[in-house]
Amino acid sequence: MSADTMATAGTTQELGQSSPFGSPGAPGGGSKGGLARFRESVGTTSLVRGVIGMVVFVVFWEVATRLDEWAGVSVPFLARLPPPSSVVEAFFDLLGTGGFWQSAYLSFARVMWGFGVAMAVGIPFGLLMAVSKTAKAICFPPFELLRPIPPLAWVPAAIIFWPTPELSITFVTFLGAFFTVVINTVGGAEQIDRRFLLAARSMGASKRTIFRKVLLPATLPSIATGAVVGMGITWQVVVAAEMISGGGQGGSTGAGGGLGFLIWNSYLGGAIPHVVVGMIGLGVAGYLSSTAVRILSVKLMPWRRAT
Amino acid sequence: MNQAQAKQARGGISIRNVSKIYDPEKTAVAAVLDCSIEIAPGELHVICGPSGCGKTTLLNAIAGFHSITSGEIYLDGELLCGPGKPQATPGADRVVVFQNGALFPWKTVLDNITYGPVIQGRMKKEEARDVARDKMVMAGLSGLENSYPGELSSGMARRVEIVRALVNDPAVLLLDEPFRGMDDLTKSIMHESLLEIYDQTQVTFFVITHDVEEAVFLGSKVSVMTTRPGRIKESITVDISRPRDYRVLTTDGFRGLMGEVVDAVHDEAQKAFEAGEREIA
């Protein structure tokens, strides 16, 4: 969403430039120097500010980690980190091996499976608890008992319970999203305007139709919120689960056991730049998947753009 | 003509000695007590009364959203609810237009309007769309087909909602304070717009309001309800010819009828107010 906003802000300002009030040919516009004009056209856009922020961050990081080498001044904590130049080097190093991509793919697949199943099971389950007092009375107490258990606490049980490490990791990832999706669905469905249900009944809708055609779309905004949060949690959970369980199928074959396993393995092997590559990879993957969920929810809810 | 006559014959409501007692904490509260109203087919009947007098309770009983404790309600001679069947089954023959509106925000105006006929399986989607477009023209809504309710003004939204109710071909339209919360100017436009729709459809309109001017301007008959427990205090026939427009509002006949209704309502409002004060003291 922030990327969208940035792009929109940029476009608006550029459009502003071509408007009669700010066109270069207008009085005042032509008298400005090239630098001022440049600054006016791009210098203040959010995109440029974002790039500046990134550059400053990377430069600061590079200097802080290299200061010991250059001037003999050791910056506390930061001096132990690899500088970004080594990380870039490690990145290209990893790119060649294929293990990085294999790890990224494995983590991505686990997240998507866990998240997908959590949505497929969690949404109907949440809606059912919202519409049926009996179902809620039966299901909600055990649900609330299980919900506070951190997904990582499930890892040993999941390893015992599921036949393959792959399924254990995916299961734990599923749990990460499941509770969030359900709680948002129940909350959203219970808060929808009751008049929508009455209006539908008044127009002759059956209970089944109301469930699919009224309850579901009316709850969609809350489900979307749950999905964005849930997606974030699955990435956190998958990494920890991979670290604990030894990378699932890939871990034993050495073909790369997910980004979490890659980080842990690199740490154990002392390849700190590789640890940072894995971390950045996770940041990018998490950002991309949350953005994908947001874009999808905007597509599914065109009416939200209209209001 | 035949079709019009057939429609004329629909929508007669008979409310006979209906009571509704709410008893959530074993403190029986009578919302409506021994209330009787006869509504002729095709009549625009307005129920007017102070807040909390049981107007909405009555409407919900007809719609099938609530049960009644005793009495009977008939639609065209058929029992909707009564002894042995405390709650009517909601159905498209009695469509409700809600206070503040209940258009589905996730559907476009056109899809909102076609919702009823399509889910009832009465029309194919395309057929329903054609009917909806015709009705939209009639209500001055053409051009809004692909808008979402969030993009409409309150007046437009309410018009869409009335059209959405009418495409179900109901016998009765139940309107629960449909213009509540609108500014006076919008309201006066909406009154004329509602009357225009009513004149064209001749469906029975059951309108609830606490606005006396609105009641007299719209109604063929105005029933004033007493304060809780609600029953009919007085039914006043509004013998002002249709079609009506805003110029009616300043005529002597209109003022006289309004005076009559105001007298009846004011007494009840006073009682409701005093009862409220006693509750606080």
* Nearest residue of chain A to residue B62 (CA atoms): A202
Q: Are A92 and A275 in contact (CB under 8 A)?
A: no
Least confident residue range of A67-81, B30-44, B152-166: A67-81
User: How many secondary structure helices (H) and strands (E) does chain A include?
Assistant: 15, 0
Report the alpha-carbon distance of residue B197 to residue B135 in Å, rounded. 9
- In tens, the pLDDT along B114-133 reads 999 998 888 898 999 998 99
Q: With an 8 Å Cβ cutoff, are B119 and A205 in contact?
A: yes
B10 pLDDT tier (thresholds 50, 70, 90): confident
> Which helix (DSSP H) or strand (DSSP E) does residue A116 occupy?
helix A99-131
Q: With an 8 Å Cβ cutoff, are B106 and A307 in contact?
A: no
Instruction: Give the CA count within 13 Å in the CB-facing half-sphere of B135.
Output: 25
Mapping DSSP to helix (H, G, I), strand (E, B) and coil, where does residue A220 land? helix
Q: How far from chain centre, in Å, is Cα B73?
A: 16
Report the alpha-carbon distance of residue A261 to residue A248 in Å, rounded. 9
Of chain B, the percentage scoring pLDDT greater than 70 comes to 95
Q: Are B128 and B155 in contact (CB under 8 A)?
A: no
Q: With an 8 Å Cβ cutoff, are A306 and B151 in contact?
A: yes
| H helical segments located in chain B | 2-8, 55-63, 109-119, 125-138, 154-166, 184-201, 212-218, 252-280
Token pair of B105 as six digits? 């925000």
**Which one-letter amino acid corresponds to residue B257?**
L
Q: How far is A302 from chain B (nearest CA, A)?
A: 8
Q: Are A83 and A66 in contact (CB under 8 A)?
A: yes
What is the reported pLDDT for A35? 64
Q: B69 burial class (0-12, 13-18, 19+ CB within 10 angstroms)?
A: middle
For the residues B136-141, what does the mean pLDDT come to?
84
Q: With an 8 Å Cβ cutoff, are B104 and A214 in contact?
A: yes
**CB distance from B94 to chain A under 8 Å?**
yes
> Which of B15-28 are b and which e, b meaning 16 or more Cβ less than 10 Å from the residue's Cβ?
beebbbeeeeeeee
- In tens, the pLDDT along B39-87 reads 999 999 999 988 778 888 999 999 999 999 999 999 998 899 988 899 9
User: In terms of residues, how long is chain B?
Assistant: 281
| Angle, alpha carbons A24-A26-A30 (nearest 5°) | 50
Q: Among partner residues A196, A203, A213, which is closest to B95 by beta-carbon distance?
A: A203
Write the DSSP string, A241-281.
HHHHHTSHHHHHHTS---HHHHHHHHHHTT-HHHHHHHHHH
- The pLDDT of residue B209 is above 70: yes
**Of B42, B35, B37, nearest in space to B18 by CA:** B35
Phi, psi of A23 (to 5 degrees): -70, 145
Token pair of B246 as six digits? 């805003």
- In tens, the pLDDT along A162-176 reads 888 888 899 999 999
Token pair of B280 as six digits? 């606080």
What is the reported pLDDT for A165? 84
Q: At what angle do helices A216-245 and A99-131 cross, to 10 degrees?
A: 140
Chain A to chain B Cβ contacts (< 8 Å) = 72
Higher per-residue pLDDT: B252 or A46: B252
> Which of A5-41 are b and which e, b meaning 16 or more Cβ less than 10 Å from the residue's Cβ?
ebeeebeebeeeeeeeeeeeeeeeeeeeeeeeeeebe
**CB distance from B151 to chain A under 8 Å?**
yes
What is the reported pLDDT for A74? 82
Q: With an 8 Å Cβ cutoff, are A218 and B106 in contact?
A: yes
Which residues contact residue B77 at a Cβ distance below 8 angstroms, ignoring those fewer than 6 apart? B12, B14
Least confident residue range of A119-128, A297-306, B152-161, B218-227: A297-306
Q: Over chain B, what is the mean pLDDT?
A: 87
Per-residue pLDDT of chain A (307 residues), as tens digits, is 343 433 333 333 333 333 333 344 444 444 556 666 666 665 567 888 889 998 999 999 899 888 888 888 888 888 788 888 888 888 888 877 777 888 889 899 999 999 999 999 999 999 999 988 999 999 999 999 999 999 989 988 988 998 888 888 999 999 999 999 999 999 999 999 888 999 999 898 888 889 888 999 999 999 999 999 999 999 999 988 888 877 655 544 444 588 888 888 888 888 888 888 889 889 889 889 988 998 999 899 988 876 5
Instruction: Give the CA count within 13 Å in the CB-facing half-sphere of A103.
Output: 32
What is the DSSP-derived secondary structure letter of residue B90? P
Q: With an 8 Å Cβ cutoff, are A203 and B92 in contact?
A: yes
What is the reported pLDDT for B265? 85
Token pair of B52 as six digits? 């909390």
Whole-number CA gyration radius for chain B: 19
Token pair of B59 as six digits? 């409407």
Write the DSSP string, A69-110.
HHHS---TTGGGSPPHHHHHHHHHHHHHHSHHHHHHHHHHHH
Contacting B residues, span 3-62, partner chain A, CB-CB under 8 Å: none
Residues of chain B neighbouring A303 (CB-CB closer than 8 A) = 105-107, 148-150
Q: Are B138 and B146 in contact (CB under 8 A)?
A: no
Mapping DSSP to helix (H, G, I), strand (E, B) and coil, where does residue B58 land? helix
User: In terms of residues, how long is chain A?
Assistant: 307
For the residues B184-201, what does the mean pLDDT come to?
88
Q: How far is B117 from chain A (nearest CA, A)?
A: 8
Q: Which residue has the tokens 């042995």?
A: B84
Which residues contact residue A77 at a Cβ distance below 8 angstroms, ignoring those fewer than 6 apart? none
Q: Are B15 and B58 in contact (CB under 8 A)?
A: yes
* Nearest residue of chain B to residue A300 (CA atoms): B106
What is the reported pLDDT for B252? 92
Q: How far from chain centre, in Å, is Cα B157?
A: 16
- The pLDDT of residue B153 is above 60: yes
Report pTM: 0.76
**Which one-letter amino acid corresponds to residue B229?**
P
Q: Among partner residues A196, A213, A306, which is closest to B102 by beta-carbon distance?
A: A196
Report the alpha-carbon distance of residue B120 to residue B104 in Å, rounded. 17
* Nearest residue of chain B to residue A220 (CA atoms): B106
Mapping DSSP to helix (H, G, I), strand (E, B) and coil, where does residue B224 land? strand
